[in-house]
Amino acid sequence: MKKSILLILLALCICFGIVSCGKNEDELPSDTANSETSENTEYITIAEGGEVNYQIVYPRNPDEKIMTSSKDLFKAIEKRSNGIPKMHDDYSSANVQHDPEAFEILI
């Protein structure tokens, strides 16, 4: 009799443990539920007055997918801005200085 009560209590504890470990995907964790979040509402200007402000930079040895994506982005910016964006790989030679103030879209 004592063993059967003990087994029932053990089974209830296991069932309770399984049910309590379930996580609702819709709920936020309690540590982030009350934290303040700010939405970024800052907009960037890619092109202005026919001049493109950003350069498209792709890896030195791009695969076909990367190169196609770079060219598609180039065409989209060119079409919407009436300007021609600069596009180059990320290799820096000794005689070319990198401009830290330049705006770049890295692919």
* Tens digits of residue pLDDT in 58-107: 999 999 999 999 999 999 999 988 899 999 888 877 777 777 888 999 98
Q: What is the mean pLDDT of the chain?
A: 79
Distance CA 34, CA 30 (A): 7
**% the chain with pLDDT above 70:** 69
- Lay out the sheet containing 54-58: strands in order across: 86-89, 54-58, 103-106
The residue with greater pLDDT, 52 or 12, is 52
Beta strands in the chain (DSSP E): 47-48, 51-52, 54-58, 86-89, 103-106
| Three-state secondary structure string covering 9-34 | HHHHHHHHHHHHCCCCCCCCCHHHHC
3-state secondary structure of 5: helix
Q: How many residues are recorded in the chain? A: 107
Q: Label residue 41 by pLDDT band (50, 70, 90).
A: confident
Q: What is the pTM of this model?
A: 0.56
How is the chain split into domains, by residue range?
A: 48-93+101-106
The residue with greater pLDDT, 19 or 87, is 87
